[in-house]
Amino acid sequence: DPVRPPLPNIILIGLMGCGKTTIGKELHRETNLRFTDTDQLIEQQTGMSIPQIFKIHGESHFRDLETGVLRQMQSGSRHSRIISTGGGITIRPENRKLLKELGFVVWLHTDVNTLYQRISRCSNRPLLQAPDPRGVLARLMDERLPFYQETAHLTIDTANLHIHEITFGILESA
């Protein structure tokens, strides 16, 4: 649509399994904006997988790397992009500030049961390598909910919404 003003960066936040990557790629297809995933960027820059980074350097080092990539993006390209983030990126106040400055932040809110069903199919999440992954997810939701709320410009409750409804909802408000 040639009449539309340019889009800002669109940043997706939310717990593991909420659909950040799926919706991010769909937004990329709709807008043609570049798609960047902070986890992928960290893996590329370190040459390590997320589980390796957690195992060898610990979670707190991984959080430093997240802050690092947010800073890079802040000082980087003038072209807007679609940015999907790791589920814990909002833990640090500094990251919440960087995210809000970086563009239009969308929280894909999803209930713990749905998250658990989606995630149990995929095993590369170090935080869920516990005896009770559903319990871990519930705890993370409790801890992080206020951070997602504080950071988001738009919250979408993804329950019962189709990928396309979510995508167009975001593009209408961005």
Q: How far is CA 64 from CA 15, 52, 77, 89, 163, in A?
A: 19, 15, 21, 10, 32
Our CB check for ligand S3P shows the closer of 30 and 43 to be: 43
SS3 state of residue 114: helix
Largest CA distance in the chain: 53
Q: Is 19 in the site for ligand S3P (CB under 6 A)?
A: no
Least distance CB 80 / ligand S3P (angstroms): 21
Ramachandran class of 47: left when φ > 0, alpha when ψ lies in -120 to 50, beta otherwise: left
According to DSSP, residue 128 is labeled: G
Residue whose beta carbon is closest to ligand S3P: 86
Least distance CB 39 / ligand S3P (angstroms): 5
Q: Which of residues 77-136 bind ligand S3P (CB under 6 A)?
A: 86-88, 125-127
Q: Which of 19, 33, 39, 70 binds ligand S3P (CB under 6 A)?
A: 39
- Distance CA(141)–CA(139), nearest Å, equals 5
Least distance CB 41 / ligand S3P (angstroms): 11
On whether the CB atoms of residues 150 and 99 are closer than 8 A, the answer is: no
Q: Which of residues 47-66 bind ligand S3P (CB under 6 A)?
A: 50
Least distance CB 127 / ligand S3P (angstroms): 5
Element counts in the chain: helices (H) and strands (E) = 8, 5
Least distance CB 86 / ligand S3P (angstroms): 2
- Distance CA(99)–CA(69), nearest Å, equals 11
Which residues make up the interface to ligand S3P (CB under 6 A)? 16, 20, 39, 50, 86-88, 125-127
